[in-house]
Amino acid sequence: MRKSFIETLVELAGRDPRILLLSGDIGYLALEPFAEKFPKRYFNCGVAEQNMLGVATGLAEAGFVPFVYSIATFSALRPYDFFRNGPVLHRLPVRLVGVGGGFEYGHNGLTHYAVEDVAVMRAQPGLTVISPADHRQGRTALLATWNAPGPVYYRLGKDDTTVIPGLDGRFERGRVQVTAAGGDLLILAMGAIAREAAAAAEALRPDLACTLAVVAEANPAPAEHLALLLEKFKAVMTVEAHYLNGGLGSLVAEIIAERGLPCKLLRRGIKTMPSEFSGGEAYMNRAYGLDSASLAAAARELAGGRK
């Protein structure tokens, strides 16, 4: 999603001189198109993310729309307090871009795994939180939100080729995007891990017909649309490359509980701290039960006896 995101940003920056790009010395083979086209609007701020967020706050107060880019743990978590007391508190249009949700930085280990970023970000009032499922949706979501009032957090995957079947790059604020229909079970997925959920749903047919929907906007939650979907099912499985607490599963639990919906919830995510070992993304997803086969087995069990 990085490549298409930056290409789209170059397009937007060509039309709007308020757009700037700040990087925390991250983005090799990703940011060059912007840096080459707009050298005076690109700032490598060095390995100093707190300052980068403070600088972005000062720039935004003066009318700029700064995009701030790093690996998600370094853009979202390291300077979180600067983001909270800066763009969030001041309601300024800073766009924080975090690359690599879940296990995308595979062999780099926990310091590089953003597994709680959605939880801490969606707690902030007035902050839009966007986690696209593929690069086409990433582009559409950027076009739909780059000029939104207040700050935005974008959680981007690294995969610039895979597309979620049936998603067709759709994104609409306040809505989830249904990519496959079926009456037996609802699967909700957030972020690039949606590809595993999609593969699981496909593998389960025709025995189990699942509706799969992508939730790309974690804050404000598309609560009304989600509730309409949840009302139609006896069971839902949420899928996210994120700790179980505070992410998509929690968001859905809140909606089910507050509305008293008779829908059983299974949250699939990262249950324990991934600090004992590392490995490639596919390996780590399997190790933590987030690969398509594990998800399919979990879905079958959840739906068992309910058909």
Residues that bind other proteins (CB under 8 A): 20, 40-41, 43, 45-46, 48, 50-64, 81-82, 85-86, 89-90
Distance set, CA 102 to CA 118, 136, 244, 257, 295 (Å)? 11, 20, 12, 26, 16
Q: Is residue 9 within 8 Å of residue 19, measured between CB atoms?
A: yes
Beta bridge partners of 212: 180, 187
Least distance to other proteins, CB of residue 38, Å = 12
Q: Is 297 helix (H, G, I), strand (E, B) or coil?
A: helix
Closer residue to other proteins (CB): 46 or 174: 46
- CB nearer to other proteins: pick between 20 and 176: 20
Q: Which is nearer to other proteins, 24 or 247 (CB)?
A: 24
Nearer to other proteins, 45 or 204 (CB): 45
H helix or E strand, kind and range, residue 15 = helix 2-15
Residues constituting the chain: 307
Place of tokens 């800073």: 94
User: CA-to-CA distance for 266 and 231, rounded, in angstroms?
Assistant: 16
Report in angstroms how near the CB of residue 200 gets to other proteins at its nearest: 44
Closer CB to other proteins, 13 or 218, in the complex: 13
Of 29 and 62, the one with the shorter C-beta distance to other proteins is 62
In angstroms, give the least distance from the CB of 64 to other proteins.
Answer: 6
Given a contact cutoff of 8 angstroms between Cβ atoms, the answer to whether 140 and 176 are in contact is no
Question: How far is the C-alpha of 51 from the C-alpha of 24, rounded, in Å?
Answer: 10
Radius of gyration of the chain (CA): 19
Query: Shortest gap between Cβ of 127 and other proteins (angstroms)?
Result: 16
Give min distance, CB of 68 to other proteins, in A: 11
Nearest approach in angstroms of CB 178 to other proteins is: 41
